[in-house]
Amino acid sequence: MSEPRSQGRPSTCFQLLITGIACVATIPAVAVESGTPSRLRKPTIADTIRANVYADNWFSLYVNGELVAVDSIAFIPHNVISVDVLPRYPMTIAVMAKDNADPTTGMEYANTNVGDAGFILKFADGTVTDGSWKAKCFSHGPINGDTRTPRVENTPIPENWFAVDFDDSHWAAAKEYAEADVGPKQPFFDADFKGATFIWSDDLSLDNTVIFRRVIPTPPDGKPRTDFSGLNDVVPDAPPRGSGKRPSDRGPRREESR
């Protein structure tokens, strides 16, 4: 599709030119963040990694402090959520997972059943859930498994539980569970979870809200990956709009939208 031709409005063009020069002058030519390359290419989908996540029954997933996925089904059927993640290392992963449970009794199906839980995750860089993750329960019940007079014990959830700098040093390690203990439904077997282990906190039945955290220092598969975190602080891979010169080894090309 051809570009629309200018209709010849000199004063407007001149204003745009001046504005363009002013804008170019405000764009930093190098990254302000130390350690970030002074030039970055734009990331493509090939730079992302696929994240597969399965929770009995629900989860929200944060990577490096940003929300990247929420389970679309709160209860049943059990489902796998697959999303593309642009990784950056060290990579802080934080997950809130919930077993389906009445908030006042800890039970389900009209307070006739104590449901059980489970969580598993695999990223395409080789990141998997296992006992190296941290886990902490924030809602537990029915206390002592008492289904006749069911009560729950809730612990306030810290506001910044998903933050990179959140201190989980005093949290216990996640407990690993066998696949047979969790009994995942069919969507689990249709996705790639090879090498990952189901985790939860100490009680798969009575712990109903659990937060997991893990820092992945470097790509587990050893494959080097570009850190695109400074992308908004540099002019990526092409001359800034309005600079007037194109690299001589490139033919004319249209500016990509930013």
Q: In the complex, which residues of this chain contact Ca ion (CB under 5 A)? A: 56-57, 99-101, 115, 208
Distance of closest approach, residue 133 Cβ to Ca ion, in angstroms: 19
Token output for 25 = 């002058």
Token output for 100 = 């389906």
Smaller CB separation from Ca ion, 129 or 208: 208
Q: Where are the alpha helices (DSSP H) in 85-243?
A: 179-182, 186-190
Smaller CB separation from Ca ion, 65 or 183: 183
Nearest residue to 102 via CA among 75, 76, 69, 71? 75
Token output for 193 = 């979870």
Smaller CB separation from Ca ion, 66 or 202: 202
Distance of closest approach, residue 32 Cβ to Ca ion, in angstroms: 46
CA–CA dist 195, 115 (Å, integer): 26
Smaller CB separation from Ca ion, 78 or 214: 78
Residue nearest to Ca ion (CB): 115
CA–CA dist 239, 237 (Å, integer): 7
Smaller CB separation from Ca ion, 100 or 127: 100
Q: Is 124 helix (H, G, I), strand (E, B) or coil?
A: coil
Distance of closest approach, residue 246 Cβ to Ca ion, in angstroms: 58
Is residue 214 within a helix (H) or strand (E), and if so which, with residue range?
strand 207-216
DSSP assignment of 8-28 equals --HHHHHHHHHHHHHHHHHS-
Smaller CB separation from Ca ion, 56 or 125: 56
What letter would DSSP give residue 217? -
Distance of closest approach, residue 23 Cβ to Ca ion, in angstroms: 53
Distance of closest approach, residue 89 Cβ to Ca ion, in angstroms: 33
What are the angstrom distances between the C-alpha of 82 and each of 39, 42, 52, 69, 228?
31, 23, 5, 9, 22
Distance of closest approach, residue 73 Cβ to Ca ion, in angstroms: 12
